[in-house]
Structure 1
Amino acid sequence: MSKKLLLGIIVVLLITNIASLLFWNQEEKRVISEDEDTQINSTEPVASIAGEEITYQQWMDALRTGHGEKELKTMIDKEVVEQLAEEEKIEIDEKIIQRDIAFLHTMQGVMTEEESSKEEEGWREDIIYRYQLEQLLTADMSIPEDELQSYYDSYGDQYNFSSSVQLSHIVVDDFETAEKVVSELDEGASFELLAREYSTDEETKNNGGYLGSIYTSSQFLPNSYEEVALEMEDHSYSEPFRAESGVAVIYLHRNLPSIEFTYEEIKPYMESELAMQELEQNLTADPLWEQVDVEWIYGE
């Protein structure tokens, strides 16, 4: 049995088992567990946070990818943080968001433009949530100015993002072969498959020519690659050019420019980070529940 088929069966069984725990009784309520006496009316919200409701259907949708109580708590946490952040007027600088998205891109493999866009939506939500939560948890704490300045002087560079390029390449012996590769690309051939067929780089050809995300300051990025890549659009391939190991055609998945912060720009985020270290607690929204009116089916 293939791994994909086995995974499919497991998912079906999981959904079926969850569904089997939910059934209509005579009062049109659903019993969430045979071992617990918790009942749910599907026409009523399953949670209310300061008047903002989470519906039964929203919760059921979340159940498809997780477990009920955990998923519901996550939804409540996000709503709690969103409401309190709005009250406290806590907004996260777009520059911070882009910096974190850039870091996340460097840790990913090859993605299409559509896949990348979809991932970024989820990343953005998580990044905003994390920083808002951190600032809410440390709202009553203050780090002395001289301590902040000293920390920035020593570690400020760690908050910056160095420019990087995410590349694949095909290396061949001569321009004639390289032109043939480009001709096939123009006709819609897969860069990955052509790399497997033509590339002389044994280290990357079996991986479709993928080099990964490389900082432009890295010694592992040939100068010729950087010069060509910085003139290209994301998700495009180059014309053939002379490289150190032959004639190359590169594919630029993504160009990520550098992002640098001044002391004043990074100060609020640095302060909340240092305050969290002093608190020595996990980054959890649990302490914030007391500040809003939260009611949910699992308790107070």
Structure 2
Amino acid sequence: MKYGRSLESGSASSQKRKLKTKPLLLLIGILFAFNVFWFVGWLLPDKKPKQTGEEVASVAGEPITREQWMTAMEKEVGREVLLDLVNGKVMEAAAKQYAIDVSDKEINLEVALIRSVDGRSYTGLDMEKMRQKIRSNLILEKVLSKDIVVEEKAIGKHYEENATLYNISTAYRTAMIVVPTKEEAKQTVDELAKGSSFDVLAKERSTDFASASLGGDIGYINTSTDAIDKKIVEAVVDMENDSTSGVVALSDGTYAVLHVSEVLEGQSFTFDDVKDHIRRELALEQLPQTVNPEAFWDEFDAKWFYGK
């Protein structure tokens, strides 16, 4: 009897365990099926049409995608931007190879001389990018002129004959928005006062197309600048660093709004300050032809997307 009851109770316990495992087996089965469906779905090609890119604009309901926009920009300016990057790297490699050093003092001198002689040389570039390009150019000049001998007498004579170049007036990094009417100029002033971007407004409405594409930038100007309307020169000399003018009437009957992003105070350079600069200039004049950074590409194994 006892033995028989033991068998019966064992059988009952076994059945209970079987009953308890059914939900677990069912859950495992469901998870397995889900994984199989997921795996099959992953293997199958996507039947939905792929996105062609984020829409950045549209015309008559037709979208212009970010991909189209970026492709157009690459075709327009991509080559030039990449060329600058490659040439910058090449010149840094040349500086290391030939033990060329360029100091901040030398770059500061070049910035001062550039804004004195040709303030529009680096329009469209902020100060950091401008200094980078000047550094690359100085490396190039030093590499090319390192073995050329220039007499001290010639350097002194050049300094005396060009002394005015080394007495530099205060210069103003200027941007402008030119519009046909006074009313439009007033509206522009109001929008700028409310926080609108000078760069954006210049590109949208300035009728001076050369500067408009650069956000209105016309480079450094001073009291001796003769390539700019004198009305602009007269206006900026009373402006402070990072300031915007009111309406400025121009000589041709149009109107401008000006922004001065930087004021560089005038300074004078002694012979000792500029003798190395003059030595390089006179040395480079002895070269039979102009040499650019691309001449060093083979030496430093430079390659790029556009081929040769």
TM-score, normalization by structure 1: 0.50
Q: What is the 5 A alignment of 1:235-250?
A: 236-239=243-246, 250=257
Answer with 1 or 2: which has the greater Rg: 2
Q: CA deviation at 1:81?
A: 1.8
1:82 partnered with 2:96: yes
- 2:222 maps to 215
Q: Determine the C-alpha separation between the residues in 2 that align with 1:128 and 1:183.
A: 40
1:266 partnered with 2:274: yes
SS at match of 2:138: helix
Q: Determine the C-alpha separation between the residues in 2 that align with 1:288 and 1:242.
A: 49
Q: What is the RMSD of the two structures over their aligned residues, measured on CA atoms?
A: 5.4
Q: CA deviation at 1:261?
A: 2.6
1:98 partnered with 2:111: yes
Q: Determine the C-alpha separation between the residues in 1 that align with 2:295 and 2:185.
A: 61
1:278 partnered with 2:286: yes
Q: Gaps (5+ residues) in structure 2?
A: 1-61, 304-308
| Residue identity in the other structure for 1:221 | K
- 1:142–1:275: 8 Å Cα contact kept in structure 2? yes
Q: CA deviation at 1:97?
A: 3.9
SS at match of 2:273: helix
Q: CA deviation at 1:270?
A: 1.0
- 2:135 maps to 128
- 2:155–2:278: 8 Å Cα contact kept in structure 1? yes
Q: How many residues align?
A: 223
In structure 2, relative to structure 1, the CA distance for the partners of 1:151 and 1:246 (3 Å cut) is: closer
Q: Determine the C-alpha separation between the residues in 1 that align with 2:149 and 2:93.
A: 26
Q: Determine the C-alpha separation between the residues in 2 that align with 1:283 and 1:135.
A: 12
- 2:244–2:258: 8 Å Cα contact kept in structure 1? yes
Q: CA deviation at 1:268?
A: 0.8
SS at match of 1:125: helix
Q: Gaps (5+ residues) in structure 1?
A: 16-61
| Residue identity in the other structure for 1:217 | S
Q: Determine the C-alpha separation between the residues in 2 that align with 1:170 and 1:140.
A: 49
| Residue identity in the other structure for 1:124 | R
Q: Determine the C-alpha separation between the residues in 1 that align with 2:203 and 2:292.
A: 46
More helix by share: 2
Q: Determine the C-alpha separation between the residues in 2 that align with 1:206 and 1:288.
A: 33
In structure 2, relative to structure 1, the CA distance for the partners of 1:82 and 1:6 (3 Å cut) is: same
1:186 partnered with 2:186: no
Q: Determine the C-alpha separation between the residues in 1 that align with 2:204 and 2:290.
A: 46
**Which 10-residue stretch deviates more, 93-102 or 279-288?**
279-288
- 2:155–2:275: 8 Å Cα contact kept in structure 1? yes
Q: CA deviation at 1:276?
A: 2.4
TM-score, normalization by structure 2: 0.49
- 1:138 maps to 145
* % identity of equivalent residues: 20
Higher relative contact order (CA 8 A, sep 6+): 1
